[in-house]
């Protein structure tokens, strides 16, 4: 059993969430045996030549959790904190995420243990191309389609796409998503995660009788998802009262201008010190007075220790795994509506699916059409999860997991066991 006090192990957390849903679904032990562990785990150790001429060996991972509903899909992150258990957890969550919104992918995830902020662009390119070569034995447009994640971006995806294409001898644009538009990327992909968060939060606000106009929003994490969410929620009439990045947070009860904060961060490297704001800790951003809290950084930030101090009425998880099972129970008991990660941030993988489809058919849609399609899928998924939660008198996370796991179990049952 996962023990929050001992260690915040994301894989143990993911398995506990799975077991809880499996128990409610009355899944057989045979089916649980198949679904609780990854199908495939690849660990690679590879040399990279640094700018000073030295050779350094890096360790990377690529994990496939389940592919019974379609090719594996999931991001690649670069971080000193990457672990195999983290990647396994993220791959499992990706399986459920794809299933809950009904797109035909299984779950995968990848990562390299490195500090990208201390590396030059040339070093990052060499690291990316060598890592892509090492994992090329399991990625492909019909087997496993990577995407950006923490500390990776469209440029990293371009390098992976080019490396894979060089091996094949022709351009394979559908091997990754989140690419630049010039080589087969999709309109709307950059904003997709945050846009999906806005769509499901709108539905949650209707459910709880909250008006978004004037609602106070606090965002932990001011990277791609967090900064874009700030812009979108601000445009919706919300008041952004607090934001943070890895160096610290800022707070202003009268509201912050998201665009000005982003410019300040781009110039100074952090939101800390933004004029007219009060300095707060990254932890404080989770606990300031607000109506909507958007954790948009990393996993395990809302725990048994601080859940009681979360003041938001709605928690919309733009990050993966930010809330521990113990914290979930506390928040549910106090009436806080948590929109779980596998639903809240599924906009990213949904538009990645659109990008993959467009690449395969070499026919592209405009951003308005993509946004319309995304809204339909996110609203439908929220309605299905909310209906399940009402049926079982449970929180949205358990409901989303039950819905997703039942779909994956059905696909597994129908396909059967080979041989």
SS3 149: coil
Q: What is the pLDDT of residues 350-386, one digit of tens each?
A: 999 999 999 999 999 999 999 999 999 999 999 999 9
Is the peptide bond prior to 419 cis by the omega test (within 30 degrees of 0)? yes
Q: Phi then psi for 337, rounded to 5 degrees?
A: -90, 115
Q: Residue 254: which pLDDT band, with cuts at 50, 70 and 90?
A: very high
Q: What is the pLDDT of residues 90-122, one digit of tens each?
A: 999 999 999 999 999 999 999 999 999 999 999
Residue 250: is its pLDDT beyond 70?
yes
DSSP string, 311-340: --SEEE--SSS-B-HHHHHHHHHTT-EEE-
* Nearest one of 67, 66, 47, 69 to 58, comparing CA atoms: 47
Bridge partners (DSSP) listed for residue 112 = 60, 78
Chain-centre distance for alpha carbon 358: 22
Q: What is the arithmetic mean of pLDDT over 275-282?
A: 95
Structure tokens at 176: 């990754």
Q: What is the arithmetic mean of pLDDT over 284-303?
A: 94
User: With pLDDT > 90 as the criterion, what percentage of the chain qualifies?
Assistant: 95
84-100 vs 10-25: helix axis angle to the nearest 10? Answer: 40
* Nearest one of 190, 187, 169, 274 to 232, comparing CA atoms: 190
Catalytic pick among 73, 88, 97, 109 = 109
SS3 78: strand
* Nearest one of 333, 330, 326 to 300, comparing CA atoms: 326
Structural element, H or E, at residue 192: helix 192-208
d(CA 75, CA 320): 11
3-state helix, strand, coil in the chain (%, to 5): 45, 20, 35
d(CA 13, CA 189): 29
> Which one of 3.90.1150.10, 3.40.50.720, 3.40.980.10, 3.40.50.10860 gives the CATH number of domain 37-176?
3.40.50.10860
Cα 353–Cα 67–Cα 61 angle in degrees, nearest 5:
90
Residue 5: is its pLDDT beyond 60?
no
Mean pLDDT for the chain? 95
Q: What is the pLDDT of residues 118-158, one digit of tens each?
A: 999 999 999 999 999 999 999 999 999 999 998 999 999 99
Give me the pLDDT at residue 150, please. 87
Q: What is the pLDDT of residues 14-53, one digit of tens each?
A: 999 999 999 999 999 999 999 999 999 999 999 999 999 9
Q: What is the pLDDT of residues 184-226, one digit of tens each?
A: 999 999 999 999 999 999 999 999 999 999 999 999 999 989 9
Instruction: Say which residues have a Cβ less than 8 Å from residue 145's Cβ, sequence separation at least 6.
Output: 71, 72, 73, 105, 139, 174, 175, 176, 177, 352, 356
Q: What is the arithmetic mean of pLDDT over 150-173?
A: 97
> Which one of 1.10.8.640, 3.20.20.140, 3.40.50.720, 3.20.20.150 gives the CATH number of domain 192-339?
3.40.50.720
Q: Where are the domains of the chain?
A: 37-176, 192-339
User: With pLDDT > 70 as the criterion, what percentage of the chain qualifies?
Assistant: 98
Residue 1: is its pLDDT beyond 60?
no
Q: Do domains 37-176 and 192-339 have the same CATH topology?
A: yes
Q: Is 206 a catalytic residue?
A: no
Give me the pLDDT at residue 131, please. 98
CB contact at 8 A, 71 and 142: yes
Q: Residue 3: which pLDDT band, with cuts at 50, 70 and 90?
A: low
More confident residue, 409 or 298: 409
The strand pair at 144-148 and 72-79 is best described as parallel
CA distances from 204 to 116, 291, 292 (A): 36, 12, 10
């Amino acid at each position: 059993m996962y023990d929050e006090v001992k260690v915040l192990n994301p894989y143990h957390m993911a398995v506990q969430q799975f077991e809880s849903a499996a128990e409610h679904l009355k899944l057989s032990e045979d089916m649980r045996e198949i679904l609780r562990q990854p199908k495939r785990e690849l660990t690679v150790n590879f040399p990279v030549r640094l700018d000073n001429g030295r050779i350094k060996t890096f360790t990377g991972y690529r994990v496939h959790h389940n592919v019974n509903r379609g090719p594996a899909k999931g991001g690649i992150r670069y971080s000193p904190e990457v672990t195999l258990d983290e990647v396994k957890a993220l791959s499992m969550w990706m399986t459920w995420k794809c299933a809950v919104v009904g797109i035909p992918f299984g779950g995968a995830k990848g990562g390299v243990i490195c500090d990208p902020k201390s590396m030059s662009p040339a070093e990052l390119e060499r690291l990316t191309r060598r890592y892509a070569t090492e994992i090329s034995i399991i990625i492909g447009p019909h087997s496993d389609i990577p995407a950006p994640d923490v500390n990776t971006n469209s440029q990293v995806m371009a390098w992976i796409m080019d490396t894979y294409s060089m091996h094949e001898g022709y351009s394979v644009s559908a091997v990754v998503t989140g690419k630049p538009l010039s080589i087969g990327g999709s309109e709307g992909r950059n904003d997709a995660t945050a846009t999906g968060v806005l769509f499901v939060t709108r539905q949650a606000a209707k459910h709880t009788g909250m008006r978004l106009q004037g609602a106070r929003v606090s965002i932990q994490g001011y990277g791609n998802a967090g900064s874009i969410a700030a812009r979108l929620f601000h445009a919706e009439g919300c008041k952004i009262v607090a934001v943070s990045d890895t160096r610290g947070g800022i707070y202003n009860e009268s509201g912050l201008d998201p665009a000005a904060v982003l410019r300040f961060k781009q110039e100074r490297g952090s939101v800390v010190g933004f004029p007219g704001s009060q300095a707060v800790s990254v932890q404080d951003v989770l606990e300031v007075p607000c109506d909507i809290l958007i954790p948009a950084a990393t996993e395990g930030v809302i725990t048994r220790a601080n859940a009681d101090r979360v003041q938001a009425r709605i928690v919309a998880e733009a990050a993966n795994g930010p809330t521990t099972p113990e914290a979930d129970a506390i928040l549910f008991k106090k009436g806080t509506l948590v929109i779980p990660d596998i639903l809240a941030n599924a906009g990213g993988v949904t538009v990645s699916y659109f990008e993959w489809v467009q690449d395969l058919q070499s026919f592209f849609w405009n951003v308005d059409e993509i946004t319309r399609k995304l809204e339909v899928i996110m609203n439908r998924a929220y309605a299905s999860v909310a209906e399940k939660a009402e049926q079982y008198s449970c929180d949205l996370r358990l409901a989303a997991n039950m819905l997703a796991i039942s779909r994956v179990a059905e696909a597994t049952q129908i396909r059967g066991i080979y041989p």
